[in-house]
Amino acid sequence: MEKVAIVQKMPEKVSLIHGAGGEMMQSLIGGVFATIKNNNAGGIGLEALDDGAAIPFGDKFIVLTTDNHVIKPIFFPGGDIGRLSISGTVNDLAMMGAKPIALTNGVVLPEGFPIEDLQKIVKSVDEALEEAGCALVTGDTKVLPREALDSIIINTSGIGITDNPIRDCGLKPGNKIIVTGTIGDHGIAIIAHREGFKFGSELKSDVAPIWKTVEAALAVGGITAMKDPTRGGVANVLNEMAKKSGVRIVIQEETLPFRQDVRAAADMLGLDPMEVANEGKAVIGVEADKADAVLEAVRKTKYGKDAVIIGSVEEGSGVIMKTRIGGQRFIEPPLGDPVPRVC
């Protein structure tokens, strides 16, 4: 199967799913961008396709990461594109085990964009920076004609520092898998809001910079792998982590933490909350004897209260879910996140 995917001819044109964070995006990145030969500055480079790169510097590593944010709408329940852009980049640094230090702000605006909206976005950028304990130190501003671009795009790149980068490929049989909170909140909140659905309680994005939650986990030790379940959701990152680590992940359905209203909305929308983006969560692999201590440390933090152990790592391949009723089934990686423009 995999061989077929690799020899598969590239399509002639880019389609929406090439930007949706699943297997189709991975094939575009692998087939086009990952062909770049100047791909490593020492340490962990583009070849690793991890949450960021890590460059040795003295006895430490500088982690570098980048994300474009094209979410629609730009103001949504629980946050806005400003909070999202800082959180997304802080979280990718955190996933590499790095304390976030300095971020960039690459803004592309359509002509006619309201300055008031820009000011609101900048305010929430500043609040998220404050929360994450890092700074925005440089930026760029371009403006395109109205007919060339429909809404603001923000690229946020960033650097962080670590003694020891955490990979997404370090899972070992016997490890436990922790998820730091409820699954699917961001993706389901965005699509429900966009479709104008009304539910009992208002669904909210979980968008948050979670460095402090991750820092608490790292302080305990025993962390073997981390990844933030953004586009493609938990289903996608579990598959990526299992594949890159050369292991099987087995999760227990009854442990999976979902908000009641997220599950209800997902059902109505015909979506699987495991396949949609989270913007304030981490999936963490941890040595078995440290798992309870990491869980406890994470739960003491603001964004880790609902953390649970959802499964463990075995020899083999793929991601298997043991269902509530005693069966088991593969959790497949999505071809792409079902929610367009989710981040």
Q: Which residue is nearest to ligand ATP (CB)?
A: 139
Nearer Cβ to Mg ion, position 298 or 342? 342
Nearer Cβ to a second copy, position 3 or 9? 9
Report the Cα 142 to chain-centroid distance in Å: 27
What kind and span of H or E run contains 140? Answer: strand 135-144
Among 19, 43, 45, 49, which residue interacts with ligand ATP (rule: CB under 6 A)?
A: 49
Among 17, 44, 51, 284, which residue interacts with ligand ATP (rule: CB under 6 A)?
A: 51
- Those residues whose C-beta lies under 8 Å from the C-beta of residue 304, and which sit 6 or more positions away, are 180, 181, 210, 213, 216, 298
CA–CA dist 101, 90 (Å, integer): 9
> Under the criterion CB under 8 A, does residue 15 sit at the interface with a second copy?
yes
Nearer Cβ to ligand ATP, position 157 or 312? 157
Q: How near is the Cβ of 198 to a second copy at its closest, in Å?
A: 26
> Under the criterion CB under 6 A, does residue 92 sit at the interface with ligand ATP?
yes
User: Contact at 8 Å (CB) between 258 and 324?
Assistant: no
Name the segment binding ligand ATP (CB under 6 A); options: 42-50, 180-188, 196-204, 206-214. Answer: 42-50
Residue indicated by tokens 């305990």: 220
User: Contact at 8 Å (CB) between 203 and 192?
Assistant: yes
Beta-sheet pairing, 283-286 with 223-227 = antiparallel
Binding site for Mg ion (CB under 5 A): 51, 67, 88, 92, 140, 228
Q: Which does 244 bind (CB under 5 to 8 A by kind): a second copy, Mg ion, ligand ATP, none?
A: none
Among 19, 27, 29, 341, which residue interacts with ligand ATP (rule: CB under 6 A)?
A: 29
Q: Six-digit token pair at 238?
A: 């579990």
Interface of this chain with ligand ATP, residues 70 to 89, rule: CB under 6 A: 88
Helix (H, G, I), strand (E, B), or coil: what is residue 302?
coil
Q: Which does 201 bind (CB under 5 to 8 A by kind): a second copy, ligand ATP, Mg ion, none?
A: none
Report the Cα 310 to chain-centroid distance in Å: 18
Q: Which does 12 bind (CB under 5 to 8 A by kind): a second copy, Mg ion, ligand ATP, none?
A: a second copy
Interface of this chain with a second copy, residues 106 to 125, rule: CB under 8 A: 106-116, 118-119, 122, 125
Q: How near is the Cβ of 154 to ligand ATP at its closest, in Å?
A: 8
Interface of this chain with ligand ATP, residues 104 to 123, rule: CB under 6 A: 105, 107
Q: How near is the Cβ of 48 to ligand ATP at its closest, in Å?
A: 7
Interface of this chain with ligand ATP, residues 121 to 140, rule: CB under 6 A: 138-140
> Under the criterion CB under 8 A, does residue 236 sit at the interface with a second copy?
no
Q: How near is the Cβ of 292 to a second copy at its closest, in Å?
A: 34
- Those residues whose C-beta lies under 8 Å from the C-beta of residue 233, and which sit 6 or more positions away, are 183, 184, 187, 272, 273, 274, 275, 276, 277, 278, 334, 337
Nearest 5 degrees, angle CA 34-CA 38-CA 39?
A: 50
| Start-to-end CA span in the chain (Å) | 30
Encode 235-265 in three state secondary structure.
HHHHHHHHHHHCCEEEEEHHHCCCCHHHHHH
> Under the criterion CB under 8 A, does residue 11 sit at the interface with a second copy?
yes
CA–CA dist 104, 230 (Å, integer): 20
> Under the criterion CB under 6 A, does residue 100 sit at the interface with ligand ATP?
no
Among 159, 241, 295, 307, which residue interacts with a second copy (rule: CB under 8 A)?
A: 159
CA distances to 11, 21, 44, 45, 46 from 35, in Å: 16, 19, 16, 13, 10
Q: Which stretches of the chain bind ligand ATP, using CB under 6 A?
A: 21, 29, 33, 46, 49-51, 67, 88, 92, 105, 107, 138-141, 230-231
